[in-house]
Amino acid sequence: MLESLTGAVELGLLYALMAIGVYITFRILDFPDLTVDASFTTGGAVAAVMISNGGSPLLATICAFGCGLAAGAVTGLLHTKGKVNGLLAGILMMIALYSVNMRIMGKPNISLVNTDTLFTSIEGNTVLYLLVLAIVVIMVKLLLDAFLHTDLGLALRATGDNARMIRSLGANTDTTKIIGVSLSNGLVAVSGAMIAQQSGFADMSMGVGTIVLGLASVIIGEAIFGIRSVVRATLAVILGSIVYRIIVALALRVEFLDTSDLKLITAVIVVGALVIPTVRRSMKQKSVARRRTQELIAAAGSQGGRS
């Protein structure tokens, strides 16, 4: 039990950067970017190829970040300069990157077993390992928080909030969108690189469903921990990523569920998190409407009696 809990926290932290990436596009820019399904693999592929060829794991992870940035920038360009619908731009890039990823890897999967990775030296000590992971994730979070409070970061946030206004104040919203989508995919690729190193392999399908995993983390985090400010929201996303992994670990302990049911469980979580608030809101509205109508009828009735 304890082992599966630490395992869940570990995975949650490794996927947290991906979730933050999805948060940037989905929540800040209000741009549902599907590129992440492929850029996650790109990150894993780049890292695996470099490391298996004797490259430094740190350099490999940084290169993965760069490739993710580039992939996101292309999606952003397609959407802003090419005026391609946002969803479609992401899907197009996802398809295109599939071929690119295959080219990078040269074969469907690469093993990193018996190779030194970022985690080799600390893997033995679980506490230290989790602590280092947590510190890295928190540092990225703090950097992002700071960025989102700079002049450029404010313009980026306003782009998703009120694009017309920030344009009238002189920001080029094409540029801010490209920066945001690029940054998002950079973080997603780093997450892919970390997962490849942790699991000891990269394969072509490792990114499938990334967008839904990311969304699940974002939505769970927001629902549980709130989004009152940017600083709070990014923390919520990280915690959401961990909680999601814990939910999955618990679900997998149920007898009749299989590992392959994971994606279905995730979809159910996301659907639940999306539908429940809507249903609750409409139920509340109905009850308010009913109460107010009764009050108004009662008021009208007493007036009617007098006239």
Partner 1 sequence: MLDISQVSKLFNPGTPDEKIALMNIQLKLEPGDFVTVIGSNGAGKSTLMNIISGVMKPDIGEVRIGGKAIHHLPEHMRSRWIGRVFQDPMAGTAPTMSIEENLSMAYKRGKARGFGWGANAAKRKLFREQLSRLGIRLEDRMSAKVGLLSGGERQALSLLMATFTQPQILLLDEHTAALDPARAELITDLTEEIVRDMSLTTLMVTHNMEQAIRLGNRLIMMDKGRIILDIPESRKRDLTVPQLLGEFERISGRQLADDRIVLG
Query: Does 281 contact partner 1 by CB under 8 A?
Result: no
Among the listed residues 145, 167, 200, 232, the single contact to partner 1 using CB under 8 A? 167
Query: Cα dist. 33→93, 102, 106 in Å?
Result: 10, 21, 26
Residue 44: alpha-carbon gap to chain centroid: 16
**Which tokens is 32 given?**
């549902």
118/235 with CB nearer partner 1: 235
- Quick note: the x/- pattern for partner 1 over 111-140, rule CB under 8 A, is ------------------------------
**Which tokens is 133 given?**
């992971």
Among the listed residues 162, 282, 285, 293, the single contact to partner 1 using CB under 8 A? 162
Q: Could you tell me the end-to-end alpha-carbon distance of the chain, in angstroms, rounded to an integer? A: 73
**Which tokens is 40 given?**
């996650």
12/160 with CB nearer partner 1: 160
The interface with partner 1 within residues 194-213 (CB under 8 A) comprises: none
- H or E stretch covering 109: strand 109-111
| Part in contact with partner 1 (CB under 8 A); list of ranges 46-54, 101-109, 151-159, 284-292 | 151-159
How many residues of this chain interact with partner 1, rule: CB under 8 A? 22
Query: Does 157 contact partner 1 by CB under 8 A?
Result: yes
Nearby residues of 284 by Cβ (< 8 Å), 6 or more positions away: none
Among the listed residues 3, 151, 255, 258, the single contact to partner 1 using CB under 8 A? 151
Among the listed residues 9, 166, 189, 243, the single contact to partner 1 using CB under 8 A? 166
CB of 141 to partner 1, least distance (A): 17
Cα–Cα distance for residue pair 259/250, rounded to 1 Å: 12
CB of 299 to partner 1, least distance (A): 23
164/306 with CB nearer partner 1: 164
Among the listed residues 25, 42, 101, 173, the single contact to partner 1 using CB under 8 A? 173
Query: Cα dist. 157→67, 140, 171, 252 in Å?
Result: 24, 18, 11, 38
CB of 161 to partner 1, least distance (A): 4
CB of 41 to partner 1, least distance (A): 31
CB of 144 to partner 1, least distance (A): 13
Query: Does 147 contact partner 1 by CB under 8 A?
Result: yes
Query: Does 152 contact partner 1 by CB under 8 A?
Result: yes
What is the per-residue DSSP string for 275-296?
A: HHHHHHHHHHHHHHHHHHHHHH
- The CB density around residue 90, as the number of other CB atoms within 10 Å, is 28
* Max Cα-Cα span within the chain: 93
> CA angle, 67 as apex, 61 and 70 as ends, to 5°?
145
Query: Cα dist. 6→241, 242, 257 in Å?
Result: 14, 10, 21
Query: Does 150 contact partner 1 by CB under 8 A?
Result: yes
Cα–Cα distance for residue pair 301/151, rounded to 1 Å: 58
Interhelix angle 173-199/36-52, rounded to 10 degrees, is: 50
CB of 172 to partner 1, least distance (A): 5
CB of 233 to partner 1, least distance (A): 10
Query: Does 144 contact partner 1 by CB under 8 A?
Result: no
Rule CB under 8 A: which residues touch partner 1? 147, 149-155, 157-158, 161-162, 164-173
